[in-house]
Amino acid sequence: MSKKHPDYIVVEGPIGVGKTTLAKRLAKSFNTELMLELATENPFLPRFYSDPKTVALPTQLFFLFQRAKQIESFRQKDMFRPIQVSDFLIEKDKLFASVTLDSDELDLYQQVYNRLTIDNHAPDLVIYLQAPIEILMQRIMMRGYGYEKAINHDYLKKISNAYIDFFYNYTSSPLLIVNTDDFDLSKDEKNYNLLLEHIGTLSSGRHYFNPVQI
């Protein structure tokens, strides 16, 4: 791939939007290291979706420690390839905490977060994937994780709105906003190749990619 492509790319967006799918494709295209969220390893997550109030804090703290550990381990590796791809920003952890925790829990979470040493440089590009809530719900049901069947429309809307607010004010890295409503991230070769070309042309600031109709 061209040297114009960013060295460190993060794919982000709400549950079910296709972060991991796109991150895997990008890592394969660039033949590079890949760092993925490990949501299925969180033992509290199934209980959170069925009864969020009782385990919201341990669910969020588990994710925080897990993501911080991943970033530290990834940072310490010898990187022989120039491009790295991840499907999460560490900052997204606070985004979810703000939605799932009550005020006392959030205060305790913030104290823990502030005491962690998270040495992670800003990405060279963040790709923010968007889709309507109905599309997200369909994708979540299609991927077949049993515990995700408890995810409801209201919760997903809160998470999606939190992402909108977060990226409205995001200036730490160049940002590419991608509409995935009609973009099959796993199979659509034409739009995927157009996206790769678009990535190679980006400079600083905010950018948009709307897939062509096939």
Question: What is the set of active-site residues?
Answer: 87
Q: Which residue in the block uniquely carries the two structure tokens 């990187």?
A: 79
Q: In 3D, which of 200, 5, 9, 34 has the Cα closest to residue 121?
A: 9
CA atoms within 13 A on the CB side of 7: 6
40-71 in b/e burial notation, b at 16+ Cβ within 10 A? eebebbbbbbeeeeebbbebbbbbbebbbebb
Q: In 3D, which of 72, 61, 172 has the Cα closest to residue 117?
A: 72
Distant-in-sequence, close-in-space partners of 44: CB < 8 Å, separation ≥ 6: 55, 58, 59, 62
